[in-house]
Amino acid sequence: MLTLERIVNIKMMVSAAILVTSVMAPMTRALATQATEAAPQDMTCKEFVDMSQQYKTAIAFVIVNKNSDFKGDDYVPLHEVETEAVPKMVKMCHQHPNTKLGELAVNLKGSGLHY
């Protein structure tokens, strides 16, 4: 038989559990997001090859244009990245699937892209 005191204790424990869960859930999500986010140059070739074409172009654009010694507003245009850099990156990635994309940037600079 449940006494009034026991019912109150159960309600308090349930309320405490709900409160702790509601406070911890957003914090857990934030920490998980931080842990899984990676800079494009830290992606592996396997991750790059497995993604959608539209994302490949965006990632390749960042890789090709990052840390370049461009003067003024020079950059490799998106169309050139899509038509030239992405296929070259995919080919290199098939040969070396565990390589980080940041390491490919060095090889791409000498591959005929028009900076």
CA 91-67-55 angle, 5° bins: 45
Q: What is the count of structural domains for the chain?
A: 1
Q: How many other C-beta atoms lie within 10 A of the C-beta of residue 65?
A: 18
Read off the pLDDT of residues 15-43 as tens digits, 9 standing for 90 and up: 766 766 766 766 666 555 554 556 888 88
Read off the pLDDT of residues 38-79 as tens digits, 9 standing for 90 and up: 688 888 999 999 998 888 888 888 887 775 555 556 666 777
C-alpha R_g of the chain? 25
Measured CA to CA in angstroms, residue 83 lies from 50, 94, 102 at distances of 18, 18, 19
Residue 26 domain flag: no
Task: Give the domain range for residue 70.
Answer: 45-109
Residue 13 domain flag: no
Q: Give this prediction's pTM.
A: 0.56
Q: What is the CATH number of the domain that holds 92?
A: 1.10.890.10
Residue 18 domain flag: no
Residue 72 domain flag: yes
Residue 50 domain flag: yes
Residue 71 domain flag: yes
Both structure tokens of 23: 């406070």
Tell me the one-letter amino acid at 8.
V
What pLDDT score was predicted for residue 49? 92
Residue 67 domain flag: yes
